[in-house]
């Protein structure tokens, strides 16, 4: 079972996700809500990497499947605010309006072009949905991890990932999310989710992932 | 931590300066007669044919074999196959039958023997000039029995120095990251080995991803960064005591650490709200200073051996390039101007050259240039090469290489002349090598 065997779904992110969830829950041990990636014991280097094999992190595995959907294909989120989203009253009013049951449903990852950290329209749209969810769940804190493809040097990519994460954080803060509820980190090129060493795989690995803390 | 405590005693033993170069007790040839020498600067010079006979005594053939491997890997020697030897009855204290060695076109010959003297392994050897029919070197080393490989490296260094005129680099170690697991679930452990891949040991258990380890100039400490879910921290391991300490730095992302040449401070980069700048922190006083203040990325700093200059990677000019500045952060100037993206600059031990990583034409390259950015020269190219580190004598550069898409990283070396590209004897996946100084 390799990631590439999972059917690609262009426009139906949810379908892909639920397929991945089924895979994860049927084949692995854990399917809790933890978003933390714990480093697993050393695996056989030569073993093919199955999505369900990454027992450490259901979230990551799920995202790996989701990433078969090209970067620009996620559906537009519902309009959540017509006025000034940074307005505290609006933000409060939106709380009960968030149409997303989970952060993952709002869209966990935004994607970046090569060596860039500015936000695409697509990324802004996903972040806007994330903001709605975060504001609707006042007790929650999030961690945004910036990721890079393998086509850069290690230390530079750590720096670039930090920029991607903070670009996402700044946008969320601009939508009225309390910055104290957002932590950022960069994984550089150390935690790719797509194994493919080609342009498609690199595009998937250039992202910022918003994960639930606590 | 248990693995660490198990491994460190062995490591300490290996590094403790118990090794004694006893004496140069043997006759020296006058320099006028010593015609035999190898040029290390001319990359294409014919390698010198040298024969290293198995030493007699304990570890004799292993020592000779390690010496052969060292000299062969340098690319400067053509090491003769022992099966071709005509003379078999060698004695370290008897002049060889030079005519026999000339038949196989051997130019230099090494004969040695080991013995145990008051519980210590003592190894003596002589280096002969076959065509000059004269002795070039006679030396004796003593150490504990388990340290026999270090004797082999000391012998290699002595031969290399006598024949090339440059100090050797064989008695040195390499810290690196041992990689395992799939690409999407990589385990990265801190590891250290002899430069020839022998005596590997692991210093971390793999719970955190270890990145970019480097020795201090004294070889007693290693600095590295460790990536976990919530941040990346800089750690210093003291090899002698085994103490592992996190370096306190504000924020949750500090990386790209290197020791300053005096070993008293570390320079590194840290993230402040998405802006990555270069900092220096004294390990003695704890004083932290910010050296760059630029909204662009500033990372991968390295201080010159004389402590005056710092090179670093920055994209402040719009593309990723190498810059230099004074040790206090003043006088920033760009060093690289030709096509491509440049990063991970690192000073040669003498401070005359800077090695770097370049991205160009969809490939990665390892290159060197003069300290002012001139005379740029590419030494190696592949799908991914990065993270150059210098041998202690500045002749060889080790780096991480992935030959093609999807390949595992491995450690490779290339001569600074651009010749003798080869894979390190450490064959398992590895990255981020950091070469030590020669051991005391």
A185/B252 Cβ within 8 A: yes
DSSP string, A156-204: HHHHHHHHHHHHHHHHHHHTT--GGGEEEEEEETSS-S----SHHHHHH
B387/A162 Cβ within 8 A: no
B184/A49 Cβ within 8 A: yes
A155/B256 Cβ within 8 A: yes
CA angle centred on B23, ends B17 and B25, rounded to 5°: 160
Partners of residue A152 in chain B, C-beta under 8 Å: 343, 359
Partners of residue A56 in chain B, C-beta under 8 Å: 185
Cα separation of B270 and B260, whole Å? 17
Q: Which of A150, A156, A186 comes nearest B253 by C-beta? A: A186
Nearest CA in chain A to B342: A153
Nearest CA in chain A to B429: A45
pLDDT tens digit string along A69-102? 333 344 444 444 444 444 444 444 444 467 788 8
Cα separation of A205 and A194, whole Å? 6
A160/B297 Cβ within 8 A: yes
B278 touches chain A (CB under 8 A): no
B313/A155 Cβ within 8 A: yes
DSSP class of B61: H
Q: Which of B184, B207, B209 comes nearest A192 by C-beta? A: B184
Partners of residue A157 in chain B, C-beta under 8 Å: none
How many Å separate Cα A25 from the centre of its chain? 19
**Min CA distance, B272 vs chain A (Å)?**
9
Tokens matching residue A121: 């329209």
B318 touches chain A (CB under 8 A): no
A170/B297 Cβ within 8 A: no
Nearest CA in chain A to B301: A155
In the stretch 364-403 of chain B, residues with CB closer than 8 A to chain A read: 383-384, 386-387
Size of interface A-B (CB pairs under 8 A): 143
Q: CB of A185 within 8 A of CB of B230?
A: yes
Cα separation of B399 and B405, whole Å? 17
DSSP class of A81: -
A155/B299 Cβ within 8 A: yes
Mean pLDDT of A144-151: 97
Q: Which of B183, B271, B299 comes nearest A156 by C-beta? A: B299
Q: What are the start-end ranges of the E strands in B229-287? A: 231-238, 244-246, 254-259, 265-272, 275-282
What pLDDT sits at residue A97? 63
Query: For A3-153, where are the alpha helices, taking DSSP H only?
Result: 13-27, 58-66, 88-95, 103-106, 121-136
How does pLDDT run along chain B (440 residues), one tens digit per residue? 444 444 444 544 444 444 444 333 333 333 334 456 666 555 557 899 999 999 999 999 999 999 999 999 999 999 999 999 999 999 999 999 999 999 999 999 999 999 999 999 999 999 999 999 999 999 999 999 999 999 999 999 999 999 999 999 999 999 999 999 999 999 999 999 999 999 999 999 999 999 999 999 999 999 999 999 999 999 999 987 879 999 999 999 999 999 999 999 999 999 998 899 999 999 999 999 999 999 999 999 999 999 999 999 999 999 999 999 999 999 999 999 989 999 999 999 999 999 999 999 999 999 999 999 999 999 999 999 999 999 999 999 999 999 999 999 999 999 999 999 999 999 899 999 999 999 98
CB count in 10 Å sphere of residue B62: 15
B386/A154 Cβ within 8 A: yes
Please name every residue paired with B259 in a beta bridge, in sequence order, or none if there are none: B266
Nearest CA in chain A to B366: A153
B269 touches chain A (CB under 8 A): yes
Tokens matching residue A213: 């803390």
- Parallel, antiparallel or unpaired: strands B265-272 and B187-194: unpaired
Q: Say if residue A34 is exposed, middle or buried (CB neighbours under 10 Å; 0-12, 13-18, 19+).
A: middle
Tally of helices (H runs) and strands (E runs) in chain B:
4, 30
ipTM of predicted assembly, 2 dp: 0.89
DSSP class of B317: T
Sign of CA dihedral A185, A189, A194, A199: positive
B385-B319-B212-B375 Cα dihedral, nearest 10 degrees: 60
A154/B212 Cβ within 8 A: yes
Nearest CA in chain B to A190: B186
In angstroms, the Cα distances linking A72 to A38, A67, A126, B14, B310 are 29, 11, 11, 55, 42
pLDDT score of A68 more than 60: no
DSSP class of A7: P
Cα separation of A87 and A210, whole Å? 23
- Parallel, antiparallel or unpaired: strands B221-228 and B231-238: antiparallel
B181/A42 Cβ within 8 A: yes
In the stretch 335-364 of chain B, residues with CB closer than 8 A to chain A read: 343-344, 357, 359
CB count in 10 Å sphere of residue B266: 26
Select from B208, B212, B229, B269 the residue whose CB has the most chain A CBs within 10 Å, as the one to mutate to test that interface.
B229
DSSP class of A73: G
Nearest CA in chain B to A196: B406
What pLDDT sits at residue B81? 96
Q: What are the start-end ranges of the E strands in B144-239? A: 173-180, 187-194, 201-202, 209-215, 221-228, 231-238
Cα separation of B327 and B309, whole Å? 5
Q: Which of B227, B269, B408 comes nearest A45 by C-beta? A: B408
pLDDT score of A169 more than 90: yes
Sorted by sequence, the CB contacts under 8 Å of residue B337 that are 6+ apart come out as B321, B373
Q: What strands, in cross-sheet order, belong to the sheet with A207-212?
A: A109-111, A207-212, A142-147, A182-188
Nearest CA in chain B to A185: B231
Phi–psi pair at B333, nearest 5 degrees: -145, 150
Cα separation of A21 and A28, whole Å? 10
Sorted by sequence, the CB contacts under 8 Å of residue B46 that are 6+ apart come out as B78
Q: CB of A90 within 8 A of CB of A176?
A: yes
B343/A39 Cβ within 8 A: no
């Amino acid at each position: 079972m390799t990631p590439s065997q999972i059917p690609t779904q262009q426009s139906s992110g949810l379908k892909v996700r639920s397929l991945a969830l089924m895979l994860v829950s049927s084949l692995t041990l854990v399917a809790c809500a933890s978003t933390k990636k714990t480093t697993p014991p050393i695996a056989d280097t030569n073993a093919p990497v199955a999505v369900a094999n990454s027992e450490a992190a259901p979230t990551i595995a799920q995202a790996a499947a989701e990433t078969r959907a090209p970067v620009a294909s996620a559906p537009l989120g519902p309009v959540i605010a017509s006025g000034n989203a940074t307005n505290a009253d609006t933000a409060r009013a939106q709380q009960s309006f968030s149409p997303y049951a989970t952060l993952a449903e709002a869209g966990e990852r935004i994607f970046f072009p090569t060596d860039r950290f500015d936000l695409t329209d697509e990324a802004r749209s996903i972040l806007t949905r994330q903001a709605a969810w975060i504001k609707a769940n006042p007790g929650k804190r999030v961690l945004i991890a910036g990721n890079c493809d393998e086509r850069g040097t290690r230390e530079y990519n750590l720096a670039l990932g930090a920029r991607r994460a903070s670009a996402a954080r700044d946008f969320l803060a601009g939508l009225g999310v309390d910055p104290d509820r957002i932590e950022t980190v960069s994984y550089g090129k150390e935690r790719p989710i797509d194994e493919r060493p080609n342009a498609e795989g690199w595009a998937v690995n250039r992202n910022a992932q918003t994960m639930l803390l606590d | 931590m248990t693995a660490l405590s198990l491994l460190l005693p062995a490591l300490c033993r290996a590094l403790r300066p118990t090794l004694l170069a006893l004496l140069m007790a043997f006759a020296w040839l006058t320099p006028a007669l010593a015609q035999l020498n190898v040029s290390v600067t001319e990359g294409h010079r014919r390698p010198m044919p040298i024969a290293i006979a198995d030493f007699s005594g304990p570890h004799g053939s292993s020592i000779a074999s390690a010496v052969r491997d060292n000299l062969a890997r340098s690319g400067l020697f053509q090491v003769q196959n022992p099966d071709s030897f005509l003379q078999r009855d060698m004695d370290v204290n008897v002049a060889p039958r030079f005519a026999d060695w000339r038949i196989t076109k051997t130019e230099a010959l090494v004969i040695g023997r080991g013995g145990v003297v008051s519980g210590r392994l003592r190894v003596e050897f002589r280096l002969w000039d076959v065509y000059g029919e004269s002795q070039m070197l006679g030396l004796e080393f003593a150490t504990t029995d388990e340290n026999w490989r270090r004797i082999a490296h000391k012998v290699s260094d002595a031969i290399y120095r006598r024949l090339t005129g440059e100090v050797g680099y064989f008695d040195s170690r390499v810290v690196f990251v041992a990689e395992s697991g799939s690409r999407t679930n990589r385990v990265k452990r801190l590891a250290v080995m002899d430069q020839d891949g022998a005596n590997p040991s692991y210093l971390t258990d793999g719970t955190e991803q270890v990145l970019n380890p480097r020795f201090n100039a004294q070889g007693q400490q290693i600095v590295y960064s460790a990536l976990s879910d919530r941040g990346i921290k800089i750690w210093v391991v003291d090899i002698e005591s085994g103490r592992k300490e996190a370096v306190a730095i504000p924020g949750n992302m500090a990386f790209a650490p290197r020791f300053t040449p005096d070993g008293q401070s570390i320079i590194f980069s840290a993230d402040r709200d998405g802006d990555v700048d270069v900092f220096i922190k004294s390990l003695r006083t704890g004083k932290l200073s910010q050296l760059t203040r630029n909204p662009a990325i500033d990372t991968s700093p390295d201080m010159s051996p004389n402590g005056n200059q710092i090179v670093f990677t920055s994209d402040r000019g719009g593309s990723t390039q190498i810059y230099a500045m004074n040790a206090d952060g003043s006088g920033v100037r760009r060093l690289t101007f030709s096509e491509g993206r440049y990063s991970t600059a690192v000073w040669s031990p003498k401070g005359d050259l800077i090695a770097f990583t370049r991205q160009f034409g969809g490939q990665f390259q390892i290159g060197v240039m003069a300290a002012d950015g001139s005379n740029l020269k590419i030494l190696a190219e592949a799908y991914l090469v990065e993270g150059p580190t210098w041998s202690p004598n500045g002749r060889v550069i080790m780096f991480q290489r992935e030959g093609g898409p999807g390949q595992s990283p491995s450690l490779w070396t290339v001569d600074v002349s651009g010749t003798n590209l080869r894979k390190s004897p450490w064959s398992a996946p590895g990255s981020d090598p950091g070469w030590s100084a020669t051991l005391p």
